Structure 1
């Protein structure tokens, strides 16, 4: 505290003014603080996973499955208490907000709103889309002579009956004219 009065009477070497007089002028120019605090927000682009989760700061946050697609980029706007996920393109009413979650504490936390997973495949059937697409029935060729080898490979039941030849790898070495893998001779063996 003894140093402050001594420094305020000195002339500053850069601007050439007395430090105390310059401080009074600067304080008079300051305005009052705004009523709403300035919010510091981190902004990042992150891809959406197949499970509609977005990774940010070592944690996972959910987005609505019906509003995004896998690998779509979303904007993460993170404040100290909250993580907001926004689409990069506004929808018809101009809104970009997809989800807002409280910020997770620690690492490896999943912050999920269960309603966001409505429309995701549940794994009980072969459906892999999130839209309202009706899966078409698979038409398989009848097994037998009229089914070609490609169709037989594509049909699981027929693939079991395909005979596969087994032979030692040395057969391939003979066909290509290469000798089998051996280790390089040491100096004692070569002399």
Structure 2
């Protein structure tokens, strides 16, 4: 498999999960602003949309969209989806929330220069992180077992730290537990980024 990512981007969640699932893959770093790969070739020749993550399977099929990749990797791995008759549905619910209700506002926050919009986005994100804090069911979001949603949450916690958003203590502790996992440390090292230090 070929995995296309950009350091610290939302693709970091899939990067973490690929290591967590112990899947074999070839990583390719993408410059998402120039839309190029490290060898200078066009990334848009791989993914015409130009964004990450993307995963080309061994059969040639290209998967895009973070939620789709995370769901596929979680199913390909062992025990990365919550148990129960609605386990996968609830997991997809959380992945969709992280993608639409956190990631999208963060992208706006990164690029807006309007101070009123920054304040509104910060307040909105703080409130939505507060909702996640009420959903923790154990050591991880869905109990004792790590899931793809935890990997995605961790990336959003890193973005919160980048934007100066203070998370509730329960979420800081969750980010710390996630960061302590060997797969997370491996992905961070591969991307050349420093750990948060156990807190968001």
Q: State if a TM-score over 0.5 links the two structures.
A: no
Higher share in helix? 2
Q: Which has the higher contact order (CA 8 A, sep 6+)?
A: 2
TM range (shorter): under 0.3
Higher share in strand? 1
